[in-house]
Amino acid sequence: MSADRENHDMTHKDIALLLADAADEVEIGIAPYQAVIRGGRRRRARRLAVAAATALVLCGSTGATLALTGLPGGDGDRVAPVATRPTAPVPPEDRHVYAPQRTTLATGTDQGKTWQVYIDVWGVPRDESEARRQLDAMRAAGEAPAVRQASGLVGKTSYFVGRSVSGGKSLVITFNTVRKMDPEKGGYEAFSTSLEPGAVGPERLVVGRVGKGARQVMCKWRDGTTSSARKALDASARAGDHGVIRPAAGTPVNWFVCLAPSETGFESAEVVK
């Protein structure tokens, strides 16, 4: 028992001495603080670089997918529809519903008196509310359409051709309310009246409409003479006593005016070119 206890005590002593000798041989220096910091920075930089690269890959992939599909979850063939704003409706004032477009068709001098022929074109009302206001405006202007009620104006263009002499009161020569004004190719319409409103005598003044291709209209008078109206070079060209063919704002056709010599009247009109 004593021998075993002695061996056991010596073993512990031997171990303690060995540990002490080992501790004496170890050099204890200052901890490598800067090296540790640099190592931590390198590891942090690597983590940031990996995260940035991952983000770029994800962004590029997402952008490419959106560009190709246009819609989330869509196929590559799809393209996102372009967003468009609804077109604002054109107000009736801009469509000339409540105030007509006026075009002077011809001017001249006869026996010392100046005269002119004009056309008023009223725009198309789209509903009964616009039509009622238009009818009131027409009546105020002294132009009465041939309709029984305002609803007869809806969807139609109205025009009034009138003349005045020496700045006097204007009177209507012809008027109409129509859905379409285009004459047949090569066709025409002509209307005749006395030059001076209310005057008793031959119908010397002729007004008509022709297609855009007509270049010359020949007016024949009862005394065997003729007068011609030729197509104006532009809309601003003035018309003399011999007449002119010109466009009128708001209409898809051209208009002509002829005036017969004194003491004779209208017989016929013909498109010759």
pTM exceeds 0.75, yes or no: no
**Class of residue 179 by CB neighbours under 10 A (exposed 0-12, middle 13-18, buried 19+):** exposed
Per-residue pLDDT of the chain (273 residues; tens, 9 = 90+): 444 444 445 555 555 555 555 555 545 445 454 544 455 555 555 555 445 444 444 444 444 333 334 444 545 455 555 666 777 888 888 899 999 999 999 988 888 889 999 999 999 999 999 999 999 999 999 999 989 999 999 999 999 999 989 877 888 989 999 998 766 555 678 899 988 877 777 899 999 999 888 889 999 999 999 988 888 766 555 555 457 899 999 999 999 999 998 889 899 988 888
E strand spans, the chain: 101-110, 113-122, 157-165, 171-178, 188-193, 205-210, 216-221, 226-231, 244-247, 254-259, 266-271
Condensed to tens digits (0 to 9), the pLDDT of residues 175-219 reads: 999 998 766 555 678 899 988 877 777 899 999 999 888 889 999
Non-local CB neighbours of 272 within 8 Å, separated by 6+ positions: 216, 217, 218, 228
Condensed to tens digits (0 to 9), the pLDDT of residues 41-63 reads: 555 555 554 454 444 444 444 44
Non-local CB neighbours of 2 within 8 Å, separated by 6+ positions: none
Non-local CB neighbours of 239 within 8 Å, separated by 6+ positions: 105, 106, 107, 108, 232, 246, 257
The 10 Å Cβ neighbour count of residue 229 is 31
Task: Name the one residue in this structure whose structure tokens are 């604002």.
Answer: 88
Task: Name the one residue in this structure whose structure tokens are 């065997």.
Answer: 224
